[in-house]
Amino acid sequence: MWRRASVMSAVSISGCIYLPQTTTTYNKECQLDERHMTLEGRRVAEIAGCSNEGCAALLVAAGVVSAATAVVSGSVVVAGNVVYWLEKKGQCMAQKVK
């Protein structure tokens, strides 16, 4: 009964991946383009009407892929934002020296 309930709850679960997204804004004070990274989720698959063990395997695979992309892309976003912050500080200080 537990197994049936868990499979039935998975009727409309979506498979998502997470990707880093870079945005650029202009900083008038330092006269440079500032970049900032965010993490965005994208739906890549929808699981509907599952009723057997194959569905459970599909859910596990979708969960693993989703978690892996969140960890890898999240690390890229954190590292990228640190680099962009350091770049901004360096260029802004250079502008103030001029």
What angle do the packed helices 53-97 and 2-9 form, to 10 degrees? 50
CB 43 within 8 A of CB 92: no
pTM of the model: 0.69
pLDDT-derived band at 76, boundaries 50, 70, 90: very high
Domain range holding 92?
A: 2-97
pLDDT-derived band at 1, boundaries 50, 70, 90: very low
How many independent structural domains does the chain possess? Answer: 1
What's the pLDDT tens digit per position in 26-44?
Answer: 988 888 899 999 999 888 7
Q: How far does CA 30 lie from the centroid of its chain? A: 29
Tell me, what's the pLDDT at 51? 66
Q: What are phi and psi of 75, to 5 degrees?
A: -65, -40
DSSP H or E stretch at residue 31: none
